[in-house]
Amino acid sequence: MYNQETRNNPMRFEDLNWFDLDGYLKTDDRLMLVVGSCEQHGYLSMLSDVKIPLSVADAASKQTGVPIAPPLNYGISPYFLNYPGTLSLRVSTFLDLIEDLVTSAYGQGFRRILILNGHGGNEPARARLYELANNHSGLSMIWYSWWQSHSVEAVAQAHGLRSYHAGWIEAFPFTRVTDLPTGEKTPPRIPGIVDSILARELYGDGVFGGPYQVDESIMAEIFDAAVLDILHLLRFD
């Protein structure tokens, strides 16, 4: 059964049973949902967009006891389909998945849902969330894309850095699967909307630009800023 001792560890669904969650819902109605993608990230893990928000959610859950639903490992990534390993959902499929997950949680008593998004391509889901809010009384949702946070951007700016896909800002110790190049990459010129074949030709190794890596102390600042954001957002005030 759910008890206060579980607050010493992240409250992932995979480590709980339904009795635990039934007990939790007697005292709280908050839930964290992680959404990401399975797509190329240069030299980083294909699941970087899941690993980062899930790690942030874990850190916040340890302090708050708010449970974390199983992450959605797939997102909207049609522009990277020419990179092996990228598995993309149609926009309509992704939006329906989000609606079904939120509706399921709402039906069980979860009323405050924080969605931690790790992938820019998933942004169309925000419109569907507004529709859900109109149709579900008492439902409160927050959509948080960690790299767009003012707190995270402030850390980058303080170090004179600009963030790029698959570059330094996503190169945490837990997203690295091989040694990273040194130095920086000049961002390629992209002529508007391109198909996945041309995207691979233009981006090459998949990194959009900037430094491939920075000092771990900077990455720790980025991570801590995101965790503080989540702790604040979980107040739902």
Q: Which of 104, 110, 103, 101 is nearest to 21 (CA)?
A: 110
Task: Kindly report, residue by residue over 62-82, the tens digit of the pLDDT.
Answer: 999 999 999 999 999 999 999
Q: Are strands 112-117 and 30-35 parallel, antiparallel or unpaired?
A: parallel
Q: Which of 100, 97, 105 is nearest to 75 (CA)?
A: 97
Q: What is the pLDDT of residue 8?
A: 76
Buried b (16+ CB within 10 A) or exposed e, 14-51: eebeeebbeebbeebbbbbbbbbbbbbbbbbbbbbbbb
What range defines the domain where residue 23 resides?
A: 4-233
Task: Kindly report, residue by residue over 192-217, the tens digit of the pLDDT.
Answer: 999 999 999 999 999 999 999 999 99
How many independent structural domains does the chain possess?
1
Q: What rounded mean pLDDT belongs to the chain?
A: 96
pLDDT (average), residues 46-70: 98
pLDDT (average), residues 159-175: 98
pLDDT (average), residues 29-46: 98
Element (H, E) at 126: helix 125-135
Q: Would you mind telling me the total number of residues written for the chain in this entry?
A: 237
Which residues on adjacent β-strands are paired with residue 185?
210
Which residues on adjacent β-strands are paired with residue 53?
none
Task: Kindly report, residue by residue over 102-129, the tens digit of the pLDDT.
Answer: 999 999 999 999 999 999 999 999 999 9
Residue 1 CA neighbour count, 13 Å, CB half = 3
Written as one string, the DSSP assignment of 184-222 is EEPPPP--SS--HHHHHHHHTTS--SEES---HHHHHHH
> Helix 125-135 to helix 91-107 angle, to the nearest 10 degrees?
30
Whose structure tokens read 């110790």? Answer: 173
Q: Can you read off the two tokens belonging to residue 73? A: 């490992």
Q: How far apart are CA 228 and CA 146, in angstroms?
A: 11
Q: What is the CATH number of the domain that holds 47?
A: 3.40.50.10310
Task: Kindly report, residue by residue over 135-160, the tens digit of the pLDDT.
Answer: 999 999 999 999 999 999 999 999 99
pLDDT surpassing 80 at residue 3: no
Q: What is the pLDDT of residue 15?
A: 97
| Contact assessment for residue 8 and residue 62, using Cβ atoms and an 8 Å cutoff | yes
pLDDT (average), residues 173-186: 98
Q: What is the pLDDT of residue 193?
A: 95
Residue 33 CA neighbour count, 13 Å, CB half = 22
pLDDT surpassing 50 at residue 1: no
Confidence of residue 7 (pLDDT cuts 50, 70, 90): low
